[in-house]
Amino acid sequence: AQKITQTQPGMFVQEKEAVTLDCTYDTSDQSYGLFWYKQPSSGEMIFLIYQGSYDEQNATEGRYSLNFQKARKSANLVISASQLGDSAMYFCAMREDTTAGNKLTFGGGTRVLVKP
């Protein structure tokens, strides 16, 4: 079974609107972390936001928020007030804290295109 699933391969969003990117995960660990990265067309991977499995509050970083629903094993990224510069690939990733080396498992990604 896939550990990280991003069901939306691509989506359009109107500038200034909010967009939600879906991510579901599968783990039997109690301690884990969830990450979102952005990859613009230039190719660099940019860390956006992190949610720990024991964090009770949803993580927020500026216009990014993570809608963490532990029982449903989902960690959706919400981008508010979309900007043209938000056009990029977005990857959800999970770190299972019982494994050595802090390795991440990534989803297949969602491509977002912001329309003016």
Residues that bind other proteins (CB under 8 A): 4, 6, 9, 31, 33, 35, 37, 43-45, 47, 50, 52, 91, 93, 97, 100-109
Shortest distance, CB of residue 67 to other proteins, whole angstroms?
A: 18
Query: Dihedral through CA 58, CA 34, CA 91, CA 25, nearest 10?
Result: -100
Distances (CA, A) of 96 to 4, 41, 88: 12, 29, 26
The residue count of the chain comes to 116
CA 26 and chain centroid, separation: 14
Between 78 and 104, whose beta carbon lies closer to other proteins? 104
Shortest distance, CB of residue 37 to other proteins, whole angstroms?
A: 8
Shortest distance, CB of residue 47 to other proteins, whole angstroms?
A: 4
